[in-house]
């Protein structure tokens, strides 16, 4: 059954264009045009007005970053970057997200035909989800607000913040971390569905824009107040120990949970089991149901829980599933998430506020 989704596939490799097109069409997506470079991609978008574009990063004449910028200027359309698994491509891919791309999908290297076939369901689901994003609303939601940090506030002792996200999540996570008050003293664990090789760059980007000290998690890492860890791509991040306000994590290659690794549920559930100080759990935009069980675990130990609302979520799957559990305390637009987290950790709020 056709999904009604119309796509353009842009890649400088004829082989990759053919493979991606075949996979999308097998999944019910109508590929209305192909492009060999960014210039052709922009022209095809203007001509065909598709629902979504899959965009290679490195292409001749005009690369993927320039093409995304042109598309957002001339004919705003959801773009999914298809990035090769290299350090250089990781940097460039995040630049494309800055220009307006919704998210990215990591292309396997080497003999791609068999690997891409194995990933067919994932890419079809992701393209279908990205196609539903309004790129103009996505751009507005991604703009950081200029908030003044209010002094003389008191907070709970040793709060731990756990954030889970997937499709459309990188920019949302960056925004939330940039707006959190440092004097709240959170210990922060972030699980963003992202392949290995990208999470280190992602952590560095968050670190550069946040008052918190953010880094990619390594096995045995310990953090205290004012520090944050990003789960490493391809590995679950589990809280293994908590003592005197400092928590330790271990990284595992246990089987995927909810078809993903790292899984939000693994991190949140382990935190609820180990940490006896205040917990705050947040589910941001993403595809699937990961995080719903984790939110239930946090509420079971009297934690506070939030979910991003549908209007500002690129994909409402993960927040929706969390909300459906009945264990989400507040559903908020992305611009209010950081304030909600800070409010939940405060001890100086009057009962009637």
**Torsion angle, alpha carbons of 203, 206, 208, 209, to 10:** 180
Q: Please give the structure tokens belonging to residue 120.
A: 């067919």
Cβ proximity of 75 and 48 under 8 Å: no
**Can you point out the beta strands (E) in 21-176?**
30-35, 52-56, 79-84, 103-107, 160-165
d(CA 172, CA 209): 12
Sign of the C-alpha dihedral, residues 313, 332, 317, 87? positive
Q: Please give the structure tokens belonging to residue 14.
A: 């004829």
* Catalytic position from the list 12, 103, 193, 225: 193
User: What separation, in Å, do the N-terminal and C-terminal C-alpha atoms of the chain show?
Assistant: 51
Those residues whose C-beta lies under 8 Å from the C-beta of residue 186, and which sit 6 or more positions away, are 159, 160, 161, 180, 212, 225, 226, 228, 280, 341, 345
* Catalytic position from the list 56, 221, 265, 290: 290
State yes or no: is 14 an active-site residue: no
State yes or no: is 166 an active-site residue: yes
Cβ proximity of 213 and 219 under 8 Å: no
| SS3 state of residue 112 | helix
Q: Cα-flanking dihedrals φ and ψ of residue 13, to 5°?
A: -95, 120
Distance from the Cα of residue 33 to its chain's centroid = 28
* Catalytic position from the list 106, 166, 210, 313: 166
State yes or no: is 144 an active-site residue: no
222, 227, 323, 235: which is closest to 282 by C-alpha? 323
11, 76, 8, 15: which is closest to 38 by C-alpha? 11
Cβ proximity of 290 and 325 under 8 Å: no
Residues assigned a catalytic role: 166, 193, 290
């Amino acid at each position: 059954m056709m999904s009604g989704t119309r796509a353009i596939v842009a890649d400088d490799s004829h082989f990759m264009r053919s493979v991606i097109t075949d996979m999308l069409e097998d999944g019910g997506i109508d590929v209305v045009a192909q492009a060999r470079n960014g210039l052709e991609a922009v022209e095809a978008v203007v001509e065909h007005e598709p629902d979504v574009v899959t965009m290679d990063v490195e292409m001749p004449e005009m690369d993927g970053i320039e093409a995304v910028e042109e598309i957002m200027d001339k004919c705003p359309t959801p773009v999914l970057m298809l990035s090769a698994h290299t350090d250089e491509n990781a940097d460039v891919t995040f630049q494309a997200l800055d220009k307006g791309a919704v998210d990215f999908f990591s292309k396997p290297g080497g003999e791609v035909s068999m690997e891409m076939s194995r990933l067919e369901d994932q890419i079809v689901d992701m393209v279908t989800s990205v196609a539903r994003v309004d790129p103009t609303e996505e751009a507005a939601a991604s703009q950081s607000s200029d908030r003044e940090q209010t002094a003389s506030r008191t907070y709970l002792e040793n709060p731990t913040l756990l954030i889970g996200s997937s499709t459309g999540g990188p920019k949302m996570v960056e925004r939330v971390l940039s707006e959190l008050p440092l004097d709240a003293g959170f210990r922060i664990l972030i699980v963003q569905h992202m392949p290995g090789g990208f999470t280190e760059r992602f952590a560095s980007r968050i670190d550069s824009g946040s008052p918190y000290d953010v880094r990619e998690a390594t096995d045995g890492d310990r953090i205290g107040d004012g520090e944050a860890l990003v789960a490493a791509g391809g590995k679950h991040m589990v809280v293994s120990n908590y003592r005197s306000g400092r928590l330790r994590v271990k990284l595992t290659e246990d089987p995927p949970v909810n078809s993903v690794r790292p899984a939000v549920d693994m991190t949140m559930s382990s935190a609820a089991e180990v940490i006896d100080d205040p917990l705050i759990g947040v589910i941001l935009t993403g595809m699937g149901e990961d995080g719903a069980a984790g939110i239930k675990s946090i509420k079971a130990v009297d934690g506070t829980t939030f979910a991003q609302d549908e209007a500002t979520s690129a994909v409402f799957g993960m927040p929706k599933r969390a909300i459906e559990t009945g264990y989400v305390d507040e559903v908020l637009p992305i611009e209010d998430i950081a304030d909600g987290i800070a409010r939940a950790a405060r001890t100086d709020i009057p009962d009637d506020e």
